[in-house]
Chains A and B, each alone.
Chain A
C-alpha cells in the first residue's frame, strides 16, 4: 500500500511565525487531504488537494503530484493553530480508503 511520511514530527513556534509542513507519499494518489486535529480530538478538514494549490485565510497548501509531495503553509501562526496536522492519501481503486501519516505536532506559544 501507499506509504505516507510527514515532517517534521514536532514543531514549536512563537505566535506570529510562519511554518511549512511536508507530506511525502510513495505512489500516485487520487485523494489527498490535510486535517487539523484539535485538543478535543476533532478532525477538521483543511484541504482536499490531490494536485495544485489552494488557499484558505492564513493557510495554504500545494500538492505536486508528479513528485509525490504536498506542503501545508501556516502564516502568522496563532495559539489556536496548535494541535496535530495530518496528511492522508488514497490512490488507485481504493474507494477512498485513506492512509494517514503519523502527523506533525504543532505547538504555538503566545
Chain B
C-alpha cells in the first residue's frame, strides 16, 4: 500500500534562517505531489505542485521554493525565513497523470518562526 512521510513534525526556526522540509511517498510511481500551507487552523492553500521530476509549478508568489529531485521526493525550502512563513505545512500525493484522483495527505509539519 502507499504511504506518505513528512518530517520533521515540528520545527522552531529564527527569522532569517534557512528551511528544508522533506516529503517522500512509498508504494507508487510517478505520483503528482503537492505542498499546502494552513494558517490559523482554517483552510489550506496550495503552494506548489509537481507532475514529474524537476517539474514544479508555483501557485502563490512567496518566500518559498520547492524541488523534486527524485520521483517520490518533494522538498520545500527557503533561504531566509520570514515571520509570515509560520504555519502548518502539509504534503500530499495523488495518482498521476491527470487530476481526477483523490489526494492523500501526510501528517504535516508545524513551523514556528521566532
| Interface residues of A, Cβ cutoff 8 Å to B | 30-31, 33, 35, 40-43, 45, 48, 50, 84, 86, 88, 90, 93-103
**Binary interface encoding of chain B residues 91-110 relative to chain A, with 1 for a CB under 8 A from any of its CBs, else 0:** 01010011111111101101
Residues of A within 8 A of B102 (CB): 31, 33, 45, 48
Whether A95 contacts B98 in the complex (CB less than 8 A), given A43-B105, A45-B104, comes out as yes
Whether A97 contacts B44 in the complex (CB less than 8 A), given A31-B99, A31-B102, comes out as no
Report the bound CA distance from A89 to B65 in whole Å. Answer: 24
Instruction: Write the nearest CB–CB distance from B50 to chain A, whole angstroms.
Output: 9
For B46, give its contact among A30, A40, A84, A97 (CB under 8 Å). Answer: A97
For B42, give its contact among A94, A96, A103 (CB under 8 Å). Answer: A103
Report the bound CA distance from A88 to B104 in whole Å. Answer: 12
Whether A100 contacts B43 in the complex (CB less than 8 A), given A30-B100, A45-B102, A94-B99, comes out as yes
* B75 interface residue per 8 A CB criterion: no
Q: Is the CB of A96 within 8 A of B108?
A: no
Q: How many A-B residue pairs have CB under 8 A?
A: 71
Q: Is the CB of B42 within 8 A of A42?
A: no
Nearest CB in chain B to that of A96: its residue: B99
Q: Is the CB of B99 within 8 A of A42?
A: no
Report the bound CA distance from A90 to B94 in whole Å. Answer: 13
Which of A33, A41, A45 is the most central at the interface, judged by chain B CB atoms within 10 Å of its CB?
A: A41
For A96, give its contact among B38, B41, B100 (CB under 8 Å). Answer: B100
Report the bound CA distance from A102 to B42 in whole Å. Answer: 6
Q: Is the CB of B88 within 8 A of A41?
A: yes
For A84, give its contact among B42, B99, B101 (CB under 8 Å). Answer: B42
Q: Is the CB of A97 within 8 A of B90?
A: no
Known: A43-B105, A95-B99, A98-B36. 14 other contacts (CB 8 A): A40-B107, A41-B38, A42-B105, A42-B107, A42-B108, A45-B102, A86-B44, A95-B49, A95-B97, A96-B94, A97-B46, A97-B59, A100-B44, A102-B43
